[in-house]
Each structure stands twice: as structure tokens, then as C-alpha cells.
């Protein structure tokens, strides 16, 4: 089975809300480093963290996260 690659727009959503990595981290109860790793695509967060990011940035999960190649990626921008 091929590796599943999760892509995201967490950084875009965070910047649109005027939040720093640290501010988002504090708001959802993780470290700034965790936010950096999520934004860089080097860490796949738990569903709980995904939901908290979505709530804090006022986005839906499908606006923030998707599996690479499974949907029209232009719709996720």
C-alpha cells in the first residue's frame, strides 16, 4: 500500500486570523514546535488537534486537511 500523504493549509488559515504559531499553539494546548511541524507537513495531528485548529481558525476540516491526490487540490485553496 502506498504511503498516504496529508496536506494542509494550517499556515494560511493561521495567518488569515492574524495568529502567530505560538498564539495558535496556546489556544489549542500544544507547543509552537507542534504547529510548525504540522504546517511543514512533518506531523499528522490527532483528530482532536485538527478539530481545535479548525475551530480556532474558523475553517472546516476539509478546508484545512486533505489526502494528496484524492480530490481536486485547487478546491482546497
Q: Tell me the domain boundaries of the chain.
A: 7-70
Higher pLDDT, 21 or 70: 21
How far is Cα 77 from Cα 72, in angstroms, rounded to an integer? Answer: 10
Asked if 25 and 35 touch (Cβ cutoff 8 Å), the reply is yes
Q: Is the pLDDT of residue 73 over 60?
A: no
How far is Cα 48 from Cα 12, in angstroms, rounded to an integer? Answer: 20
Q: Is the pLDDT of residue 23 over 70?
A: yes
pLDDT at site 40: 96
Number of residues assigned to the chain: 77
Fold of 7-70: 434 Repressor (Amino-terminal Domain) (1.10.260)
Amino acid at each position: 500500500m502506498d504511503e498516504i500523504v496529508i496536506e494542509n493549509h494550517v499556515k494560511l488559515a493561521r495567518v488569515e486570523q492574524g495568529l502567530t504559531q505560538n498564539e495558535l499553539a496556546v489556544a489549542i494546548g500544544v507547543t509552537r514546535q507542534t504547529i510548525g511541524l504540522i504546517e511543514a507537513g512533518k506531523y499528522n495531528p490527532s483528530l482532536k488537534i485538527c478539530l481545535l485548529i479548525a475551530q480556532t481558525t474558523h475553517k472546516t476540516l476539509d478546508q484545512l486537511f486533505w489526502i494528496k491526490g484524492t480530490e481536486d487540490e485547487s478546491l482546497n485553496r
